[in-house]
Structure 1
Amino acid sequence: MVCIHDNENLPTILNLLEASYASKESRVAVTTLFLVELQGRARPILVANQAHSSLDPVSCNSNHIDNALRQYAQQNEGYVSVQSFTSISTFETMHDDVCRISLEHGANILILPFHKRWEIDGTVDVAHRSIQTMNINVLERAPCSVGILVDRGILSASPSLLMAKAAYYIGVFFTGGADDEETLAYCTRMVRHECVYVTVVRFLLFGEENSKDRKHDSDLIDEYRHHNAGNRRFEILDEVVKDGIDLTTCIRRLVDYFDLVMVGRQHPDSVLFEGHDNWSECQELGVIGDMLASPDFVTKASVLVVQQPRTIGKFVKCNVNMNPVPKERDQLFSPFSFLFRLLWVEKSSSDRDSAPICWNPKQFR
């Protein structure tokens, strides 16, 4: 599921969708929600765009985005389905609509816009501070994984995967923890795309060779390494660092090799992150995500900050009256789910609603 507030983010969003690799064996169902701030005393509404194509002045932007998404679906004919909705509400309550649709459509991951916008000259503008509040609320309540997209595509004129089939370079900064594991699961699906190159950068704390966490992470990395054996577009790079300064220096050295950097939101306690919380500006991005999104961090790479679901099946209230949202049982980005712990496997049409099972790379060798 993708939430869109500004159509300037569309090229980067399309690259993200295309990189997620729809195929005959693993179809993609995209649900798009246009976020429109409620003006005056009008009543908030949530509508399916196909049935309400005359929501002026919203229709101009939404039609442009709908056309682009339809083109994406046509390029992947038979493997991609698209549904779009519009939420016209206050940003203080819009998270209700976001979480409701993601729950009713069985989304595996929910992509949210960042509240800051980069201009072509490199300056940073706060597009809408209320979006930050909405993002924080969604992170607390979402029934699925969440990714916050920091879009710098305008700075680099990122190549179009959809139209030009240009090479697209993705870096995954891995320090450990559930959110980084979620990110690793996502990128493993992406690298199946013939134009996507993935480099997993694993930061290893000096002197922690025999720790339990290190062994767990090494076993996990080895599974992904084995699963991607023979794929020259997938590589793992180990970087040994002593402290947070080393970590920052290493990230600055590597970041500009990539069009997109992916990182987990939260990480286990470590000396690598000591003191960073004191100057963190955007807590919803976590320590590394906040660093990468800082205006002081000069890079042209976009960033996707991923969080594993914190709650499953939590009640989501509805702030508007409407009919139930139609359900699509095609799971987004299956069989390689963004949920590291839960995976819906579509075995056949007769048992496609079967219960989730534990994710294990060995299953797909």
Structure 2
Amino acid sequence: MWIVKRTPEGRPVKDLYILIIVLAVLLSGVFSAWFEQTVLFGPLIFGLAVPEGPPLGSTLVDKLDPFTSGFLLPIFVTVMSLRTNLSAINPSASYTFANIILLCVGSITKILACLLPMLYCKMPLNDAAAISLIMSTRGVVDLASYSFLRDDKIINQASFAFMVIATAVTSIFVQIMVKWLYDPSRKYAGYQRRNLMNSNNKLPILVCIHNPDNTAAILRLLEKSNPTRDFPIVSNVLHLIELRGRASSVFISHQVQTKAITDVAYSENVIIAFQGFERNHYGAVTIQAFTAISPRNLMHEDICTLALDVLASIIILPFHRKWAVDGSVEVEDHGLRTLNSSVLERAPCSVAILVDRGQLKRSTSVRASENVYCIAILFLGGNDDQEALAFAKRMAISGTISLTVIRLISKQDVSCDVDEVIDLDIVGDWKQSRSSWENVKYIEHYVHEITETALLVRSLVDDYDLIITGRRNNTHSPLTAGLEEWTEIPELGVIGDMLASKDLKTRASVLVIQQQQTTL
């Protein structure tokens, strides 16, 4: 606590303090041996005194975890394997059969002890079995215990070999069985369509914030989404913080959590920004703020679960690249890219990825105006493009929006399947209902080959502030045939990948939309 109090808020812990803590851990192990205790007793007690979370707990994890997990742990497992003498096991000996019986009885007892109470509480059998297997598994801590028992001559070489083999077999078996019994994505599937095309005037949105840089781009998009009393927006803001130096994940609802659980003010700046936006659009915007502190590989669970609970029609995710003022890529977060891909696969509603380039220098295009926000939507056909058109329809209601619908038509495709008929009906109804709007334009381009598609898309980037397109995942079209092989970012689709390319020096932001996929 002394170190925490001497560390200013938002500043890193001094390296001297980290060095002192590491030396104290080593000395605690030595003192434990002097008092005839196991060498792990001292570090265990010392670890209980270290406060979890930032600044100290998270800093210790950042400094020590790469070395311990990436270097020491593989060495430990390798040494344990080398110390396992399989020749010490005598199949004909009486204790061999006894050891097998003891291991089987112990494992089955642990599984039943976990399984029966959960079945009594009416938990589904598959979920109960998966949890029971997880609770009965063995790992690194068990291997360390076996090593201490062997060194102290409490168990012999044969028993040690049996325990190591049992740990390896159990870990492999449990991993396979849990994946077979439990599919976490099934809970996100629903019987109702939760997307923009089936939503009413009230639009529930879940926006995800990873760092303060995402806030301005999200607020700009919400501003252009035409929040009015007739078309209100319910924005559920989820601030995602990577779990570091904490034993368990934390989910905070700032509507319910009126008293801070710690001295750390999580998401304060994000909440203030969105509350200001709510005040500026009183009666048209409702803000509900949440904070999720969890490991990066499990953040998609928090996002999808919250989207399911708040009945969101669309999830808006920030892109994993951040551009500098000169148009170069400043930051590329590969962990965020993996997270976006996981959400796209499991989301219970539609998903949009926002590629923000709004901080770049404004285009010199003749279409650009300080008072009019120019938006273009590229319509090639398919469910995702229909969803993008529905979002553009809502934005075009505002008089400060200039919307251009650009439909690409292939002269090579003469077929007329069900999807093509639906596209024609949707575009036809949209043209008829918006024919009298002066701020809406409809343009059709006939494309002969894919090179024309690429040139046309690239020619649009300097004419608009925002370009909306569908992801078109697993949708094959002569307009993009062959371009899939050159796609660098599959989660954006072919068109979105071209618009988000590092080679384009433009200020046009991109919104790539995928319609809801997880339905029963």
TM-score normalised by L of structure 1: 0.78
Structure 1 equivalent of residue 508 of structure 2: 301
1:186 pairs with 374, 386, 391, which one? 391
> Based on CA coordinates, which of the two structures has the bigger radius of gyration?
2
Indicate the structure with greater helix content.
2
What are the residue-to-residue correspondences of 1:133-144 with 2, within 5 Å? 133-144=338-349
Matched position secondary structure for 2:360: helix
Matched position secondary structure for 1:99: helix
Letter in 2 for 1:252: R
Instruction: Work out the CA distance in 1 between the residues paired with 2:262 and 2:212.
Output: 16
Structure 2 equivalent of residue 242 of structure 1: 448
Aligned length: 306
Would you say the 8 A contact 1:208–1:214 is kept in 2?
Answer: no
Letter in 2 for 1:205: S
Corresponding position: 1:286 with 2:514: no
Structure 2 equivalent of residue 231 of structure 1: 437
Q: Which has the higher contact order (CA 8 A, sep 6+)?
A: 1
Deviations 1:188-223 (A, max 9, x none): 011111211111110111243663455442332110
Query: 1:130, CA displacement in angstroms?
Result: 0.9
Deviations 1:34-92 (A, max 9, x none): 11111134421111235265766663xx3222222112111211121101111111110
Structure 1 equivalent of residue 468 of structure 2: 262
Deviations 1:284-328 (A, max 9, x none): 111111111110233211111100011137xxxxxxxxxxxxxxx
**Percent of residue pairs bearing the same amino acid type:** 39
Structure 2 equivalent of residue 31 of structure 1: 236
2:401 pairs with 165, 187, 196, which one? 196
Instruction: Work out the CA distance in 1 between the residues paired with 2:265 and 2:374.
Output: 34
Corresponding position: 1:277 with 2:484: yes
Would you say the 8 A contact 1:11–1:153 is kept in 2?
Answer: no
Indicate the structure with greater strand content.
1
Structure 2 equivalent of residue 80 of structure 1: 285
Matched position secondary structure for 1:154: coil
Q: After superposing the two structures, state which structure 1 stretch, 27-36 or 10-19, moved more.
A: 10-19
Deviations 1:138-161 (A, max 9, x none): 111111110011111111369xxx
Structure 2 equivalent of residue 131 of structure 1: 336
Corresponding position: 1:220 with 2:426: yes
Corresponding position: 1:117 with 2:293: no
What are the residue-to-residue correspondences of 1:319-334 with 2, within 5 Å? none
TM-score normalised by L of structure 2: 0.56
Q: After superposing the two structures, state which structure 1 stretch, 303-312 or 293-302, moved more.
A: 293-302
Matched position secondary structure for 2:297: coil
Matched position secondary structure for 1:64: helix
Matched position secondary structure for 2:275: helix
Instruction: Work out the CA distance in 2 between the residues paired with 1:55 and 1:299.
Output: 43
Matched position secondary structure for 2:505: coil
Would you say the 8 A contact 1:141–1:311 is kept in 2?
Answer: yes
What are the residue-to-residue correspondences of 1:48-197 with 2, within 5 Å? 48-50=253-255, 51=257, 59=266, 62-156=267-361, 166-197=371-402
Corresponding position: 1:43 with 2:243: no
Would you say the 8 A contact 1:109–1:146 is kept in 2?
Answer: yes
Structure 2 equivalent of residue 5 of structure 1: 210
Would you say the 8 A contact 2:409–2:479 is kept in 1?
Answer: no
